[in-house]
Amino acid sequence: MQILVKCPKCDAGLAVDAAEAPAAIKCGRCGRDIPLAFSDALRSDTAVDRCPVCGGAEFYLRKDFDPKLGLTVVVIGASISALFYWFGRDLIAYGILASAALIDLVVYGRLRDVTVCYRCHSEFRGAYARTAPAFDLHTADVLELEYERRIGRR
């Protein structure tokens, strides 16, 4: 399992392999030592049960997707299709627009879910079974506040 640890101090993303399970890492940006506590499930890539960074057990799933990439495909598709439309090739124009939307859908649908820690926003990628629920704004508000108080940001 690959874990993107979010530094509690500066929010830098630090990639860690759970199989190696280092007891601590040093943030490459701000130099802060970040102690990590890996559970057996994390090490063996079977489940995300406890966050190694903050110890939290609340996670949510989101698509491992860069929204900017999807938008680019649609924008490029729309510009090409506008060109054909301008020259009176309506059907081709609609066809290109439809394919751009379709490519977007396929790309989106094939992406795997990534599990994210509500508190510290660390991300977990691997072959483990996805069990976390979808994002809930209220839960996020409560848990983020709790975490930020604990690490002294608020």
Binding site for Zn ion (CB under 5 A): 7, 9-10, 12, 27, 29-30, 32, 51, 53-54, 56, 117, 119-120, 122
Closer to Zn ion at the Cβ: 27 or 100?
27
Beta carbon of residue 11, minimum distance to Zn ion (angstroms, whole number)? 7
Closer to Zn ion at the Cβ: 34 or 97?
34
- Give the pair of three-digit tokens for residue 146: 């709790």
Closest C-alpha to 119, from 11, 1, 2: 11
Closer to Zn ion at the Cβ: 32 or 149?
32
Burial 61-97 (b: 16+ CB within 10 A, else e): beeeeeeeebeebeeebbebbeebbeeeeeeebeebb
Q: How far apart are CA 151 and CA 9, in angstroms?
A: 8
Beta carbon of residue 19, minimum distance to Zn ion (angstroms, whole number)? 19
Closer to Zn ion at the Cβ: 48 or 100?
48
Beta carbon of residue 79, minimum distance to Zn ion (angstroms, whole number)? 40
- Could you tell me the end-to-end alpha-carbon distance of the chain, in angstroms, rounded to an integer? 32
Beta carbon of residue 134, minimum distance to Zn ion (angstroms, whole number)? 18
